[in-house]
A and B are shown apart, each in its own frame.
Chain A
Amino acid sequence: MVAEADHFSKGPNRRYVNHRHLHMLELLYSFMAVLSFYLLFLSRSEEVHTVWEVMHPAFIPVFFATTVLLLAIIFSSEQAEHKLLLIIIHSILSHVFFVVIFPAGYFGAQQATLGKTRLVYDNVIFDGIPLGPETILVQAFNWFRGINFQAALSVVLARMFGIDFFWGHLFFVPLMWGTFVPVTAFLVTRAFCEDKNVSVLSSLLVSLFPTSIIWGTYSVKNSLGFIFFFCSLYFILKYLFTSGPKASFLMMISSFATVVSHPLTGIVIVSLVLLAIILKNYENEKAKNPLSAKISLLLSFLISTSLLPLALVSFRLVSTFNTNFSLDKLYELSPTQIVGELILGQCIDFSLGGALICSLAPLVGFIGMIYLLRSGVNAGPDKTRRVSTLFLFMGFLMVLVDYRILRLFMVNLPFREVDRLWVFRDFMATPFVAFVVSGIVASLQRITSKLGRIRAQFLFSKLSSASRAILIFAIAILLSGWITASVHFAYPHQGPLQTTSYELEAVKYIETNANESYVVISDLWMMYAGGMIVGVHNPRAYYFSTSEPEGVALFNEMKMNVSIDTMVEAMEYNNATSAYFIIEEPRLGEEEYNRIIQQAQLNGLQTYKTFLYRGEEKLRIFHHKEFPE
């Protein structure tokens, strides 16, 4: 299969599409891509829970057809650069669902990040985003928190392009991911596979992994870290085979960017850099002293693997997370469940379809790794391929082991979803998936061309060229279906009501019409919306942070008993002269919403503004102003 994958594009078989047809195919693909974006734009909604709730019915068929066309172009003899450009467009399309369909992107961390970053953009805060009570250690940690790096980068880019910071932030990661992840997949694969077509295929096959789709859809520091992690992976591979300061510099600078983007990606990349340095040393030393070289490689693998759990535990020194090793989770599980968890990980909680979509591609990648390692041992001196495969295999194994340690033997982790580690695994498996797929395509092509060699039967030869085209088409259909299913699975099918357009309008209305400093008492959703427009804890326009209990307590107090006293109490947070109280019908329910309005009227609280959506009242702002005595 190695040779077959290598000769994936070299034979005449691949030139089944002539140039005129190729240009037509590319034009058709461009049209379909534009149509997909248009359908996505048509699906944009102002009040929505999930993207699938409002998705245009024609979008998925069109997306599938677009992917089929793209695969047909990939299997053709077009230049690799042109193919990459088309893949970038497809990749951006797969990652912008939230930004295009929702009024303010996906709720949660992305919006909280925008709320904090907004303060940097508006020059409200200095010396980065603060972390809380600061000791020297905490301050040093704060420097390297991902949010500061992301804030700095997105602020500078938004200023440069002169675009609205709201949109600049929301599109930041989807565009970066859509552009750089496919290109990096291409480069990583090319590091050990000479055939450009296998590398091009791998740049599309990143989309087979649902985790790599979903993490590229929202602008959070971890997503930025993943992008830099993948780029660093390429520079590490480059360092493994190139001597000289440039390769080391590239590896170091990209790894540093990964470290400051997010602690998780930082720790994993440090582990991999360590592994790469030892592996390079191992390659030089193994001829002289094979035993000690092997021992040092094994030790470095163990150290690299233990780095992530140990680093997470040590975060206790600088953060409030009490991360620790524990057997509590194991005690809660039956022996069968423990075995299931060890083998399948989180897939054990999924449906059969979900488990297949999540685990099939990594499994194929793992098989490809094993195959290449074995064939590398047997084939002899193909050093580049063997060392790259060994490095990626060790990295892959490291992530698998770490995932299980974090999931089963650790508690109070700084992040809830341990499955974010899958992104590392998927990035490292992608080149091998492409290798296996291209190997299978080449094998099938060989079989069909063998049929064509039976010269005596002219008709049979024609049949063979037709069957080759059918074969390519069938593989394109299969892969497109897989990619479409992966995209469909990646985007959540259930979710709360996302930030609505009237919530954003309410924030903008207050901001435009308020002449003095003010504070807003609201639920979490309005806190997110307010943070995105004016920033969190802005002294002039104060919205509480979603992680702050005081803001939630004030809102609950107002909900129970609407009173001016609570609003006056809230004003003390930023010495404001005005206070606003916002309630929303979809968040509270009709009965509760009406009760609060009645109580507010009884207690003499003035309605400032109401917002309607499709003729129904959805949101109401109450206002109280303190006049100086």
Chain B
Amino acid sequence: MEMAKYKAGFHRLPVSRIENKIRPENVEKAIVRDKNLLFTIFSYATAFLIFINISVVHSSVMGIAASSVYFLINAIFLGSTFFQKEDLFLRFILGNLLLIVFLGLISWVVMMIYNLDAIRSTMVLCTVTTLCSFMSKMAKYDISIEFRRNESNLKH
């Protein structure tokens, strides 16, 4: 616990700053920034954890925990891509909705081609993560291009 605090750098912050650091807005920012693809990899890891759970562990607690993290990361990716102008809450809910649509459509295609066993269900999760992460990166890229264009327009 102590070690984790040091690793996260919380030991240098006063209590009020720690509260600020783990606010939902900051969590969202960190996920959207996805520095070194950290959260994308984390999402793949949760998909792998879900696979382990389906095949070996069969625990609801583990499934709910891993799926919640999976939903959190990918819903934030999608929410920030398509609903930037909405409030945080609505962004998250709409991101979840879109994630469910993607999960439904991709698993539907996989099921119609063959079936939805543990491996293919995990493949669906990984495909959706790739899609969400890619869309998020594309949206960030679009914003940075627009920003540079506006900046050069201002200079001229």
The residues of A with any CB-CB pair to B shorter than 8 Å are 80-81, 84-85, 120-121, 123, 125-128, 143, 148-149, 151-153, 155-157, 159-163, 176, 179-180, 183, 187, 228, 231, 246, 250, 253-254, 256-257, 260
Contacts and interface: CB of A to CB of B under 8 A. Distances in A.
Contacts of B107: 152-153, 155-156
A316 to B, nearest CB: 24
B132 to A, nearest CB: 13
A563 B26 CA distance: 71
B54 A159 contact: yes
A127 B114 contact: yes
B87 interface: yes
B97 A152 contact: no
Nearest to B70: A160
Interface of B: 50, 53-54, 57-64, 66-67, 70, 82, 87-90, 93-94, 97-98, 100-101, 103-105, 107-108, 110-118, 121, 124-125
A81 B105 CA distance: 29
A128 B93 contact: no
Contacts of B104: 149, 152-153, 156, 257
B90 A231 contact: no
B60 A161 contact: yes
Given A123-B117, A256-B105, A128 B50 contact: no
Contacts of A157: 100, 103
Given A127-B115, A156-B107, 15 more contacts: A121-B116, A126-B114, A126-B115, A127-B111, A127-B112, A149-B104, A149-B108, A152-B111, A155-B121, A162-B58, A183-B90, A183-B94, A187-B94, A246-B82, A260-B105
B103 A81 contact: no
A427 B55 CA distance: 41
Contacts of B101: 228, 253-254, 257
B97 A161 contact: no
Best-buried of B100, B111, B125 by chain A (most CB within 10 Å): B111
Contacts of B82: 246, 250
Contacts of A257: 101, 104-105
A151 B112 CA distance: 11
Given A81-B90, A162-B64, A254-B101, A155 B112 contact: no
B7 to A, nearest CB: 29
Contacts of B108: 148-149, 152-153, 260
B53 A162 contact: yes
A586 to B, nearest CB: 33
A156 B121 contact: yes
A153 B105 CA distance: 8
Given A153-B108, A254-B101, A123 B93 contact: no
A95 to B, nearest CB: 17
B103 A153 contact: yes
A143 B93 contact: no
B116 A155 contact: yes
Q: Name A's interface SS.
A: helix
Contacts, number: 113
B54 to A, nearest CB: 5
Contact of A161 (B67, B103, B114, B117): B67
A67 B119 CA distance: 45
Contacts of B88: 81
Given A128-B111, A128-B112, A155-B116, A187 B90 contact: yes
B89 A180 contact: no
A163 B87 contact: no
Q: Which 6 A-B residue pairings sit nearest by Cβ, starting from the closest?
A: A162-B63, A81-B89, A153-B104, A152-B107, A152-B108, A160-B67
Given A156-B124, A160-B67, A151 B111 contact: yes
Contacts of B66: 160
Contacts of B57: 162
Contact of A84 (B53, B89, B98, B111): B89
Nearest to B86: A187
Best-buried of B59, B60, B66, B97 by chain A (most CB within 10 Å): B97
Nearest to B109: A152
Contacts of B118: 159
Contacts of A161: 60, 63-64, 67
Contact of B111 (A81, A148, A179, A254): A148
A472 to B, nearest CB: 25
Contacts of B113: 127
Contacts of A253: 98, 101, 105
A125 B50 contact: no
Nearest to B122: A159
Nearest to A84: B89
A176 B103 CA distance: 14
A148 B112 contact: yes
Given A128-B112, A228-B101, A256-B105, A159 B90 contact: no
Best-buried of A121, A187, A256 by chain B (most CB within 10 Å): A187
A189 to B, nearest CB: 13
Contact of A162 (B54, B97, B115, B116): B54
Given A148-B108, A152-B107, A125 B59 contact: no
A231 B67 CA distance: 23
Nearest to B60: A162
Given A85-B89, A149-B104, A151-B111, A160 B97 contact: no
Contacts of A156: 103-104, 107, 116, 121, 124-125
Contact of A81 (B87, B98, B124): B87
25 contacts: A120-B111, A121-B116, A123-B115, A123-B116, A143-B112, A149-B104, A155-B107, A155-B121, A156-B104, A156-B125, A157-B100, A157-B103, A160-B66, A160-B70, A161-B63, A161-B64, A162-B53, A162-B54, A162-B58, A162-B62, A163-B63, A183-B94, A187-B90, A254-B101, A260-B105
Contacts of A155: 107, 111, 116, 121
Contacts of A81: 87-90
Contacts of A149: 104-105, 108
Contacts of A187: 90, 94
A394 B114 CA distance: 42
Contacts of B63: 160-163
A149 B103 CA distance: 10
A152 B115 CA distance: 9
Given A159-B54, A257-B101, A120 B89 contact: no
A246 B66 CA distance: 30
A160 B125 contact: yes
Nearest to A231: B97
Contacts of A121: 116
B116 A120 contact: yes
Contacts of B111: 120, 127-128, 148, 151-152, 155
A435 B125 CA distance: 41
Best-buried of B62, B89, B114 by chain A (most CB within 10 Å): B89
A117 to B, nearest CB: 10
A159 B60 contact: no
Contacts of B50: 159-160, 162
Contacts of B103: 153, 156-157
